[in-house]
Amino acid sequence: MELVERCMIQVRERDVETLNMRSFHMHDLMRDVCLSKAKQEKFLYVADQSNACQLATIGRVRRVSVHKLFPIQCIKSPCLRSLLFFDAFLPDEELEKVLLLTMVRVLDYERGGDAGCKLPNDIGKLIHLRFFRLRDLNFWSSKLPSSLGNLRFLQTLDLRIIGRWSNSIRVPNVIWRMEKLIHLYLPSKCKSKTKLKLGTLKNLQTLVNFNTKNCYLKDLINMTNIRELEIQGHFNIEDFYTEELGRNPAIVQSKYLHSLSIINDEGRIDPRHLTHLLSSCNSISRLSLDVKIRRLPKYHYLSSNLAYIKLRKCKLEEDTIPTLEKLPYLRMLEFHEEAFIGKEMLCCGQAFAKLESLFRTRKIKESWITIKEDLKKAHDRLWWDFIVD
């Protein structure tokens, strides 16, 4: 915060719940000063084709950022700990050479792009890895090696890769071995035969792209430290008591869960299953629903701590304001395309005690939401904005 107050960096995004800084902008001059100091102290080295020879003479550098196509063999530092790639192309031979850097702890492919045939089978040799990100890397093969299970010290694993011939990724059932995992990002779509056991990941705080088709729903209850959960695709509760929701066991028991997202472009979710899930998440402050539900669950099934709600493709048929206006801490409300297909929603002055911003897309009809003048007067700081699609 001191850097913000001194105007050395600029806040780009804040957390909805705590208002703490989540990301920031840095001036080019400040960036150059930081890079110069990092190079002087041998804290960080930015490598490209122009300075490859210089890197070979530096023996104590621990962090290398690689830009453009760069020969990995030029990195001679035996104590290298972090390796970040920012190039859009990474051939197979370069991937294989990364395996020689056995002491590396951070391996990050930042910008994705083409990455040859497949992830090397011997990737499990990098046993000291703590952070491993493959987001948006494009492989010819959609099969990940089982040697991933040897990375027992991993704390962050991002498997959101892209298969060139198939969007479905085959993930081996070895993630359960990584008991130290804190952040896990699964592929957005897995092969139908993929079934992952995650019940041993008791330290997990972030779980993205979970679904009940490729994972076990019962494993969620063991994740007592989970803070952020994103469900992508199929979600179904087996042996569900439809008449008495209270007889169904809780899905989530983490008292730290603050963010829940549900995304399903392929179909709808059973409203009873959604209601039971939301009733288990009684501490969340962020809720994002991108799924066809037709009707929002009743107020007493929603967390009273909700500060941010995003609705998209829900195709709600009834006015949701009577439910949403009862949330005492709601500050941000977003209506995206196809969130509501009814005739009208009515906002009056008694609604939304702490609402600070209300967003709706340009694709929505002007008569879609009626805002009474007394509500505008009651909220002098309220932003009535449109999101450009």
Q: Which domain holds residue 155?
A: 53-215
- Amino acid at site 80: L
User: pLDDT tens digit string along 41-54?
Assistant: 878 888 776 776 66
State whether 87 and 159 are in the same domain. yes
Note the pLDDT of residue 369. 58
Are residues 202 and 267 part of one domain?
no
CA distance 112 to 162: 9
In a domain, 278, yes or no: yes
Residue type for 338, please? E
Mean pLDDT calculated for residue range 74-100: 75
Pairwise pLDDT comparison (85 vs 376), residue with the higher score:
85
Confidence of residue 389 (pLDDT cuts 50, 70, 90): very low
Residues 172 and 281 in one domain: no
- % of the chain exceeding 90 in pLDDT: 40
Residue whose token pair is 């009834």 = 318
d(CA 10, CA 24): 5
Residue 234 has pLDDT above 70, yes or no: yes
141 and 192 part of one domain:
yes
Residue 18 has pLDDT above 50, yes or no: yes
- Band of the pLDDT at 381, cuts 50, 70, 90? very low
Residue 188 to residues 14, 34, 167, Cα–Cα distance (Å): 26, 36, 8
How many structural domains compose the chain?
3
Do the beta carbons of residue 179 and residue 202 sit within 8 Å?
A: yes
Whole-angstrom distance, CA of residue 55 vs CA of residue 62: 11
CATH number of the domain where residue 382 is located: 3.80.10
- Give the pTM: 0.88
State which H helix or E strand residue 35 sits in: helix 28-40
